[in-house]
Structures are given as structure tokens and as C-alpha cells.
Amino acid sequence: MMKIAVIPGDGIGKEVMNASMLILEKLDLPFEYVWLEAGDEAEKKYGKALPDETLEEIKRCKALLFGAAGESAADVIVKLRQELETYANLRPVKSFKGVKTIHNNVDMIIVRENTECLYKGLEFGVSEGVTVGIRVISREASERIIRFAFELAKRDKRRKVTALHKANVMKKTCGLFRDVFREIAKEYEKYGIESEEYYVDAGCMYMVMKPNIFDVIVTTNMFGDIISDLAAGLVGGLGLMPSANIGEEYGIFEPVHGAAFDIAGKGIANPTAMILSSAMMLRYLGFLDEAKRIEKAVEKVIAEGKTTPDLGGKLKTIDMTKEILKNVQ
Ligand code: ATP
């Protein structure tokens, strides 16, 4: 049996995790699920958002399914990504049939650096009314994430890798990222993989106007966070976007959305992002057939308009999940 850590966390994290587990449990997988606590509620209960026992237990598992953390996100998921060295955050962005948006054939994958940049937590107050935050960009981490993006393009037969940066303003940090990108891009020319660069602001405009110019995108941590929500808006919103955090030895799978307290407890959260995140976990662990069954079922249910209100439907989380369940079998 493979041990899988499960942290529902806060807000809608719990609701979408329950939905996702209903689907996984139908699939007869050789998994033992280890339910753990982390997030705002855990902090209230144990005085620590990521209790030591939770972290120790996670490390004994093969992968982690994570719902959402509220205010304590920086102490939980950001810390987990660093602790488990899951340096690559993968966010596929694909149009769904049946979801009305400005573009209907978006298909890109965002590869976001996950361990450094402004997320290092190096923020200080230097004097009354003045604060600073330090952005860390290293050659080692840049090389690792850029190579990951090109390897992914090679493996999945994608045609182009685009780097988003702001090297004209952040000359040292983004400058280093850009230089490393250019070096590695040269190595992959022989595989027919193109490379391209945009300043992140212009990249955002193009993402809205002509998203088809993007295939694989690689970028630093903070930009990656922002552009993936922008990209979510292109295909129907955060309720649809899964993600994977991959390292040499560990994978964390979580929806791009957070705790969404505005809709928590109402039973209307779209379970798609979490369910597709669990499908990404199955792919990572080598259960490709099962992953495809889940993905197909989700696509069918969405195409038929059997959705939660964020996509214009009338179903509750549990009803949409039941529709998906029917199609998985
Ligand atoms: P974070 O800062 O951690 O990303 P947040 O709580 O600020 O989290 P999100 O949870 O990312 O914000 O979501 C932003 C908004 O998008 C929510 O307030 C909610 O209205 C909507 N949303 C997010 N996820 C879902 C979902 N699964 N189903 C429906 N609507 C969602």
C-alpha cells in the first residue's frame, strides 16, 4: 500500500477534498490515506499552523493532497513546498467545452519556480513606516526550474517555452533568470523546441489577447502566482485549475484556489480543481488510466453544464461530484 497524506485544511478546502476523496475511493487504488491537520484551524487548536507531527507524517508518505489554508497559507503551503523541496509548481490551463469564455482553445502549462523569489519570507521593518522585502533569485534554482520546463516540453511534445521576467527593471534578479534561460534554451534547440521571452507585464496583455502564442511558460515564483490566476480567468475561473508541486522525491497536489471564505460552508464550491489535482497525483504516481478516467468524467460533466454556480450551473458541490462519480465508473 502507498501512503498518501491528505490535508483538507480551511474554508472550501474541506469541501473540495471530500469531493475528491469520494472519486479516489471509487477507483480501487492501492493507497492508504493518512488524514492530517494544518491551516488556520490547526493553528487555533495546536498553536502552530503546520504542527510538527503533521510534517513528520507527511514525510512518511509518497505524496500529499492539499485542500487550502486561509490566513496561515504562508506558514503551511509555502513552508511545505520549501521543506519538501518541491521546486516546480505546474499549473495546466486548458479550455473546457461548455464553459463560455473569451477564448475557447487555450492550452498552456505554467511552470512556476516554487522555492525562492519574494516568497522566501525575508521581510523587515527598517524604521517607522518603512519596510523592505528581499527577492532571492539564484542560478541553481533558476537552472533547475528552466530545465524542468524544457524537459516537460520535450516529454509532452510541446513546441515552445516562453520565459516571463522583468529584466529591464530588476536587472540583477530577473537578469540572472533571463541569462540562465537563454543558456538552457540553446541546449534544447536541437530538439526543435523554440524559446521566447516577454516582460511579464506585456506577457499578461498577450495572455488575454492571444493566449495561443503560449505553450509552456516558465517564470519566477511571484509572477507565476499572479499569471496563473490571470490564466484561470481565461478558462473559467479558479474553481477549474489544478496544480502540482514536484520535487526530486515528493509531490504535493492542490487546487490553485485558496480557502475562499466568501463561499465556504455554502456547499457551492466547484470541486473540479481539487479533483483534477488528484488526477495529476495519479499521473505522477504512474496510474495513468485512472487519471484519464477522472479527467474524461470531469470534462463530460462540465460540457453537459452539470456544474456549480461559478460556471453558471445550479448544482451543489456534492451533486456535481456525484455526476462525476457516475461517469468515472
Ligand atoms: P488565496 O489568497 O490563498 O489564493 P483567497 O481566499 O484570497 O485565497 P481564492 O480562494 O483563491 O482566494 O479565491 C478567490 C475567489 O474565487 C473566491 O473568493 C471565490 O469567490 C472564487 N473561487 C475560488 N475557488 C473556487 C471554487 N472552487 N469554486 C467556486 N469559486 C471559487
* Tens-place pLDDT, residues 93-118: 999 999 989 898 999 999 999 999 99
Which domain does 223 fall in, by range? 102-235
Q: At what angle do helices 272-284 and 288-303 cross, to 10 degrees?
A: 160
What CATH number has the domain bearing residue 220? 3.40.718.10
> Does 118 share its domain with 227?
yes
Domain boundary among 197, 216, 235: 235
Contact between 235 and 101 (Cβ < 8 Å): yes
Pick the catalytic residue from 87, 119, 188, 250: 119
83 and 50, same domain (yes or no)? yes
321 and 266, same structural domain? yes
Angle at CA 323, nearest 5°, toward 320 and 325?
A: 110
- 218 and 247 housed in the same domain: no
pLDDT, position 126: 95
Give the mean pLDDT of 159-181: 98
173: buried, middle or exposed (CB in 10 Å: 19+, 13-18, 0-12)?
buried
Q: Is 319 a catalytic residue?
A: no
Quick one: 241 and 200 in the same domain?
Answer: no
pLDDT score at 109: 97
The β-bridge relationship of strands 130-133 and 63-68 is unpaired
Count the Cβ atoms, other than its own, within 10 Å of residue 165.
25
Q: Cα 56 vs. chain centroid, distance in angstroms?
A: 23
Residues 108 and 154 in one domain: yes
Interval between CA 214 and ligand 1 midpoint (Å): 25
The span from the CA of 190 to the CA of 260, in Å, is: 45
How many angstroms is it from 98 CA to the middle of ligand 1?
A: 21
Global confidence as pTM: 0.92
> What pLDDT score does 26 carry?
93
Alpha carbon distance 121, 118 (integer Å): 7
The binding-site residues of ligand 1, defined as CB within 6 angstroms of any ligand atom, are: 12, 16, 73, 238-239, 257-263, 269-270, 273, 310
Are 161 and 252 contained in the same domain? Answer: no
Set of cell numbers at residue 125: 521593518
* 8 Å CB contact between 135 and 117: yes
The predicted structure's pLDDT at residue 121: 83
197 and 240 in one domain?
Answer: no
Cα 182 to chain center, whole Å?
25
- Domains identified in the chain, total number: 2
Q: Are residues 202 and 245 in the same domain?
A: no
Q: What is the pLDDT of residue 271?
A: 98
Q: Could you say which of 202, 235, 268 is where a domain stops?
A: 235
Domain's final residue, options 220, 235, 250? 235
- pLDDT digit string (tens) for 51-82? 999 999 999 999 999 999 999 998 999 899 88
Is residue 188 annotated as a catalytic residue, yes or no? no
